[in-house]
Structure 1
Amino acid sequence: MGSVRLALGAERYNPLSEGLEAGIGPMDEKRSPARICFIIAGVLLAACPALMWLFAQFSDALFPLYRNFSKAWIALLAGVTGIVPFALWDIGVLVLAVAALIALVRCIFKRCGFALWLSLVALALSATLFSFVGGWALNHYAPPLAQEIGLDTRESTIDELADATAFYLEQAARSAPLVPRDAEGRLVRQDFFEIASIAGSSYAVLEERHDIFYGSHSPVKALLAWGEPLLYSGHIGIFWAPTGEPAVPLNCADADRPFTMCHEAAHRLAIASEEEANFAAFLACEASDDARFIYSGYYHAFVYCFDALYAASPECAQELLEEIAASDLYEGAVLVFSDRAATRAHYDAYEGPFEEVGTAVNDGYLRSFGEESGVKSYGLVVDYLIAWHESGSAAIALQSGQPSGRLGR
């Protein structure tokens, strides 16, 4: 009888029967869905660093072919996801996370199917990463934007930096009074989706001059679920390549919003470098016929240059402030600095440990794709701004009515 009970017990708890229930019995173990998913996930995951190495070594041979492919792919995705004004991935990530959690709970209670669940999660994550790297991120290895638009960038002197800073402050001060403000001079919050629509098509003028700027004109998206967490991570915008969606939190600071939206839209045009996306955003804002965009562009150009000038020569920065205080642009300059203080105060509320984590993650990502300065690369746009100022483009813009001609001077 003892042997009979042992046999019955073995039948009841036979690992083979559990394996068959999970779909991984010995007859089809090599063809089981879980095994296949794990293999595909591994291949996709391994392909990412392989592609990064390939593009780092042979970028000259792979561009502009890859960038053209990337633009077409991203434009297709943007056309599909552009049916709604908010980022689909923003909601989709939450929905998929909840679905995965429910499936995991079912696996635990049924005591089967965990291998398949894990393989599907691994496949989804690796496919997303491969889509990000293969479909867009390899644009980090593209030729410099300066080369694409014929801009000569080089190391500049303190005097050249000071001249550029003074120019951008002057233009920001001219445009500051012309954007909507309340009785106390503070920026009035504009309709998010109106600004997003303008930003989405902000490169239409520039693409007539340079092919690098052609691409999707879909509106920039709103982040509904992940907007606040993104701000706490120290970031005010994101481009999600797997869905082709540039997105910005609803609570982005007023002075930042047009420029930041143009920055994320630049990423959608396969401009991956943060430095170059900043400069592209400035060009888009400067070329706009909307005073809100013009001001946001020159405001950011001034902030980047002034920070660089102050770090290099506090004395020169102080001289600049004294000169503007004695000029007829003083009142406009006061608005510029008031907006800067308001922007800082706005983001100070989001400071905390999550910002350090978010910054570290972003720094690692940028460095992995060859941006050796990491998060500091955001400020390297100064080289582009000085070159643009010295190239004569600024004078041409002014002569054609941009920005001061359109701003009432």
Structure 2
Amino acid sequence: MTRKALLIRQLSITLATLFAVLLLQWTTAYIAIPFAGSIFIPLQRFRCFLLGRIPFSVGDVLYAIMIAWLLWKLIRFLRLKQKDRSWLLAFISLARITLAFYLLITILWGILYEQPKLSKSLSLPDLHEISNEELIAFDSVLIGRLNHYEPLFRKTDAAQCSRELSGTYLSMQRPMRVSVKPSLLGEGLAYWGVSGYYNPFTGEAQVNAHEPDFMLPFVVAHEMAHQTGIAAEDDANLMAYIACVENGSDHARFSAYFNIWLYTHRKVRRIDSNIATRLKLQLNQGTLNRIDVLKKRDEHFHTWLDDCSSMLFDLYLKMGNQEEGIYSYRNVAYSALAWEKAKAKK
């Protein structure tokens, strides 16, 4: 095959892949619900059954192989000489690989972003009707619960959280038995600003097992929520909150209230910084110490990698019709309050 013919062929495949990506983007809203029930749930059940028995993260290994291969392709691309136009073939090849990767992620996961919001399926009160006064009152309620559960908190680890919360998810009639694994990257995840992640290719949930123990239950529950097919980050946060509260253990509840308080307090600070300051002074010393641990940890691990990964993930979420991007996590302040209101009426 001549170089020109090869170039035309590679370009045609790349354009066809681009068209497939755009077509899927236009149709996801119509196929999300049937896809979730007919394809994702059976596939995820199989993956949890098969890979859940393997003690290490298969997804981490696959990502490492893929990254090494992409680096090799990139090095080849940079070494090619422009005079024979092989650089153009290499560029088109990289574009095709990127599009194919994005297409596969969208098929395996991105479609689920178009599902109805969890607050709707749980028949929660309208989030838009929550007033600033209610949110401030919720901040105060969370502080009271933190002060109650902090002295009862006992050190826990990822394995224990996985066992306990897996049972909680089953009791909540989620569609499959889920579990999390310690990521092989360990603290390396922290430099990317990541405490855990869901792998759409293997269906596994990975966490940084070195996260502070008071954060782990909520992080584990969040990644488990993704495993059950909840894609939107604020919905995964809400499901994690519900699972930790329903779990009933002191460490799970403290972790849930602590994480939701962080989101809620940021919202309250934007409403009235003076009120937020006065409320924070009501926290007991143990909880304040944990806030300091989290702050120092964030400062220690914050790098340009963190900024880059946040920017890319924000872009990916927005491409998946999550208009607020990474800031959508914070909406759990409203949905958690709505769930508490609905629970109080029962």
- Please indicate the TM-score interval, normalised by the length of the shorter structure: 0.7 to 0.9
Q: CA RMSD in A?
A: 3.3
**Is it true that 1:218 corresponds to 2:183 in the alignment?**
no
* Change in CA separation of 1:98 and 1:316 when aligned onto 2, cut-off 3 Å: closer
- SS in structure 2 at match of 1:371: coil
1:383 is matched with which residue?
334
* Change in CA separation of 1:366 and 1:41 when aligned onto 2, cut-off 3 Å: same
Query: Residue type matched to 1:314 in 2?
Result: S
**Is it true that 1:71 corresponds to 2:44 in the alignment?**
no
Q: How does 1:170-185 map to 2 (within 5 A)?
A: 170-180=144-154
Please state how far the C-alpha of 1:281 moved relative to its aligned partner.
Answer: 0.6
**Is it true that 1:351 corresponds to 2:317 in the alignment?**
no
Normalization by structure 1: what TM-score?
0.72
1:241 is matched with which residue?
200
Matched-pair contact (CA < 8 Å) for 1:363–1:375: yes
Matched-pair contact (CA < 8 Å) for 1:131–1:241: no
Mapped to 2, the partners of 1:366 and 1:85 lie a distance apart of 30
* Change in CA separation of 1:53 and 1:354 when aligned onto 2, cut-off 3 Å: same
Query: What 5-or-longer segments of structure 2 have no aligned partner?
Result: 80-86
Matched-pair contact (CA < 8 Å) for 2:11–2:92: yes
Normalization by structure 2: what TM-score?
0.84
1:85 is matched with which residue?
55
Matched-pair contact (CA < 8 Å) for 1:246–1:268: yes
- SS in structure 2 at match of 1:175: helix
**Is it true that 1:49 corresponds to 2:9 in the alignment?**
no
Same amino acid, percent of matched pairs? 21
Please state how far the C-alpha of 1:206 moved relative to its aligned partner.
Answer: 2.1
1:166 is matched with which residue?
140
Please state how far the C-alpha of 1:106 moved relative to its aligned partner.
Answer: 11
Query: Residue type matched to 2:44 in 1?
Result: I
1:406 is matched with which residue?
none
Mapped to 2, the partners of 1:123 and 1:364 lie a distance apart of 19
Please state how far the C-alpha of 1:360 moved relative to its aligned partner.
Answer: 0.8
Mapped to 1, the partners of 2:109 and 2:116 lie a distance apart of 14
Query: What 5-or-longer segments of structure 1 have no aligned partner?
Result: 1-23, 109-113, 181-187, 208-213, 325-329, 397-409
2:251 is matched with which residue?
292
2:290 is matched with which residue?
339
Matched-pair contact (CA < 8 Å) for 1:71–1:269: yes
- SS in structure 1 at match of 2:172: helix
1:131 is matched with which residue?
104
Please state how far the C-alpha of 1:307 moved relative to its aligned partner.
Answer: 1.7
Please state how far the C-alpha of 1:38 moved relative to its aligned partner.
Answer: 7.7
Mapped to 2, the partners of 1:117 and 1:76 lie a distance apart of 37
Mapped to 2, the partners of 1:218 and 1:120 lie a distance apart of 37
* Change in CA separation of 1:106 and 1:287 when aligned onto 2, cut-off 3 Å: same
- SS in structure 1 at match of 2:139: helix
